[in-house]
Structure 1
């Protein structure tokens, strides 16, 4: 059995190359997905390959500027299938012979878009993913990234949105019928990341504002898994990363150290094949 370690991090348009290198090496990352990364793939690869394992750059044909994907296997094994400005859909062929779809995305934010706009973006994106799955007749699919929504928000849970459920048992049903139409499930394990039980942080993103309803902690950075790939997901591997292995990424108040690093914390998980 082989294991694939995956990490996603929205780096807030900052050059966090030393922290990325530390994370990749200390965590043995096989698939590294970055959002808002301002550093070229060439520079990142040079830094990553100074010591340790050999990484390959983002696929040169990728036109999605918001997402960078670097892997330990050649980029020809992770070619783009379909892209927009905010997402890239890749068909990953592992050296072991296993394959699956990986979609990495960075959706519209709450500062510039209303909840209604976010919900519509969720529906449009989910519909695009289903179209690709139907075209390929293949639904071993993982979606990860910065959704700019919490797992409980409408766009994440509605049937014609991402239709994410916190229960792998529910997801195993495959789909839910609403008014004669079948909507496929995603399993969303990131529901379990809320709160500070067994960890110092309570989410991936912290924002406090002077309104009566304020969550303060949010889990905008998520991973969604189609039922056919759930057996390959190592449930107890899912983790919000608080340190790069050398330096802490959080403040003394246990919030993301956004003045030095990013306002988001990295998300880590493992797949087994």
Structure 2
């Protein structure tokens, strides 16, 4: 099992909670956004020698990553809004794409889509270069599952139902074949399990529903390897919610945990 965590930290110095979350969930790879002011040395000291921060040639910008030292993780490409990593476990090789797209308050959907187009082109180029299609995209998309940024054939081209991508991995807009991603989030959103979303701030957005801004996408070859996806609501005994919404003193986003089975499909 490969456990991947993403957390938008809201620039809060919550090093103890971060370390506790990693240990409690046996996280293999953790991706952060809005991590300014976080003392990663403090986190690493608490975790011991089991984890290492993966640094690039340039300074980290919108996203950064910690990984178990048992994994081989290298930075393939770094842009302002995303990083592409090559991850090798004892079982498989992956392309892990960490993203933090333009926020909804200051940018339009068209601006996020332009970034996504560049990102998808870089993903396709890297998949061909490394001959690896085990691609995982995780992060803060600043878009919901049914938004154009996720669904459009000219953006992520992500389908929400496994049967669709199982039937056909490619779409054909204007005679150009484009590979799809699979977005598993709808399978896990439920009132029964109180799995609503990752972000809720009624005062600002004036909406009575949760946003699913933090998501994970995978290529077809990994669609059946997703074992579980969850927005975490507590760390040990500490509740991450206050009055039924994320406690902004910790973060205004809930962490996203993805469990990926490593046996079976994948090349």
**Scaled by the length of structure 1, what TM-score is found?**
0.88
Q: Is the 8 A contact 2:93 2:132 kept in 1?
A: no
- For residue 257 of structure 1, what is the aligned residue in structure 2? 247
Alpha-carbon distance in structure 1 between the residues aligned to 2:182 and 2:261: 16
Alpha-carbon distance in structure 1 between the residues aligned to 2:59 and 2:121: 21
Alpha-carbon distance in structure 2 between the residues aligned to 1:70 and 1:115: 30
**1:122-172: CA deviation from partner (whole Å, max 9, x where unpaired):** 222222222222333322100000000001100110011101111122122
What are the ranges of 5 or more consecutive residues in structure 2 without an aligned counterpart? Answer: 263-267
Alpha-carbon distance in structure 2 between the residues aligned to 1:79 and 1:223: 20
- For residue 6 of structure 2, what is the aligned residue in structure 1? 8
SS at match of 1:18: helix
SS at match of 2:251: coil
The answer as to 2:111 corresponding to 1:117 is yes
Q: Which runs of 4+ in 1 moved over 4 A?
A: none
**1:162-218: CA deviation from partner (whole Å, max 9, x where unpaired):** 01111122122211112211111100011334452311x52100122587x835310
**Scaled by the length of structure 2, what TM-score is found?**
0.90
Match of 2:183 among 179, 188, 192: 188
What are the ranges of 5 or more consecutive residues in structure 1 without an aligned counterpart? Answer: none
- For residue 221 of structure 1, what is the aligned residue in structure 2? 214
- Once the two structures are TM-superposed, the CA of residue 118 in structure 1 deviates from its matched residue by 2.2
Aligned counterparts, 1:1-273, within 5 A? 3-38=1-36, 39-49=38-48, 54-59=50-55, 61=57, 63-73=59-69, 77-94=72-89, 96-172=90-166, 173-199=168-194, 201-209=195-203, 214=207, 216-234=209-227, 237-251=228-242, 253-258=243-248, 260-273=249-262
Q: Is the 8 A contact 2:15 2:40 kept in 1?
A: no
Alpha-carbon distance in structure 2 between the residues aligned to 1:44 and 1:267: 19
Alpha-carbon distance in structure 2 between the residues aligned to 1:56 and 1:62: 17
Alpha-carbon distance in structure 2 between the residues aligned to 1:140 and 1:63: 27
Q: Is the 8 A contact 1:103 1:144 kept in 2?
A: yes
Aligned CA distance change for structure 1 residues 62 and 137 (closer, same or farther; 3 Å): same
- Once the two structures are TM-superposed, the CA of residue 74 in structure 1 deviates from its matched residue by 5.2
